[in-house]
Structure 1
């Protein structure tokens, strides 16, 4: 059964015969019922499934941050789905052994139009505190914020702060826990307006071993 909206010619949600109506990102979408497949997947399909799985696994720990970083990527295409599409096209590489990996240097965790700083620097204090620094030649709004991401890819752990400090301050810190000492974290930096109306691409700052 389906529920109609705006009369018989309007949108509907639910199942009518072999058609299912759903709303996706504000758009009405009609789908046919799935059919049981009898033929085996082709080599190309298996390859695409592998790429999909690698991208999914790499990005999944970042899901909460990607909802911010890729918000508004396209009117009907944003968040995790948009991030997976971008990174699968631009950061997925062969691992040399028949598989694939996401190159963290090419990956984006935020996408936008604000300019990035000309210079950046990272360091780690002895109390598991990551220190991000950047140049402040770009004078945006006084309350533009720095967004920090630290990603332990090996263990699938992500720490972030989407409003760590003002952009004009040129520095911000991200405190980790003592138990993360000795682990390698890949660091990203991006910027966002206080009202979330604009943001920058992320920039990859490199990796550090937490001490």
Structure 2
């Protein structure tokens, strides 16, 4: 913004549009604003942006789960920021000139060690129910007092393919020591592939375990 001092006959200073008024000892001058050259991003910057965009697309979709699974791990920072930072550093693999997500290393929750030592997944296609059963490490369960933690199954369709239900979780929740958890899967008009994760959450808020990637299922 240009300013006129001492009325219409006074001096002018400041910027107006594409010009700038300059007051010197010898008088008042008008100069064109310098042109700012737009720098093209470097290859490293482009690569960093690509990595960030890939992880952000998944974290944004999983945000309702991330808010639970990273709440304690990220405090006092946002759970979203904690999940972005962790997965940017740990869950990307370079493939050709780009990056892909390593879903085995991708974490939807961070906390104490996940105590599951072995598991099975059985999908009842007729009734649309996935049942997961597991065995757990008794030492870890006692050390971190997770026996009453609620199980949290997460099914995430990572492909951008117009799936009707890209994110599913279980409504009723069994405890860790129950050793099993069901999740209802709505009928799909087209086949969908889900990445399956499980973690355990303290019933009344507070702590949780790491998530564990159980594999993929097609429904």
With structure 1 as the length reference, what TM-score do the two structures score? 0.75
In the TM superposition, residue 162 of structure 1 has moved relative to its aligned partner by 7.6
In structure 1, the partner of 2:167 is 158
- Judge conservation of contact 1:116–1:190 (CA < 8 Å) in 2: no
In structure 2, the partner of 1:105 is 104
| Secondary structure of the structure 1 residue equivalent to 2:173 | strand
Any gaps of 5 or more consecutive residues in structure 2? 1-35
Cα gap change, 1:72 to 1:176, in 2 (>3 Å): same
Cα gap change, 1:162 to 1:197, in 2 (>3 Å): farther
| Secondary structure of the structure 2 residue equivalent to 1:165 | coil
In the TM superposition, residue 141 of structure 1 has moved relative to its aligned partner by 5.0
Match for 1:145 among 142, 150, 154? 150
Q: Which has the larger radius of gyration?
A: 2
Cα gap change, 1:184 to 1:76, in 2 (>3 Å): same
Any gaps of 5 or more consecutive residues in structure 1? 1-35
User: What root-mean-square deviation, in Å, do the aligned CA atoms of Structure 1 and Structure 2 show?
Assistant: 2.1
**Residues 59-116 of structure 1: per-residue CA shift (max 9 Å, x gap):** 22111100000102233323121111101100111232x1211111110000001542
In the TM superposition, residue 58 of structure 1 has moved relative to its aligned partner by 2.2
In the TM superposition, residue 130 of structure 1 has moved relative to its aligned partner by 1.3
CA distance in 2 between counterparts of 1:180 and 1:89 reads 36
Match for 1:172 among 176, 181, 195? 181
Within a 5 Å distance, the mapping from 1:44-59 to structure 2 comes to: 44-59=44-59
| Count of aligned pairs between the two proteins | 174
In structure 1, the partner of 2:18 is none
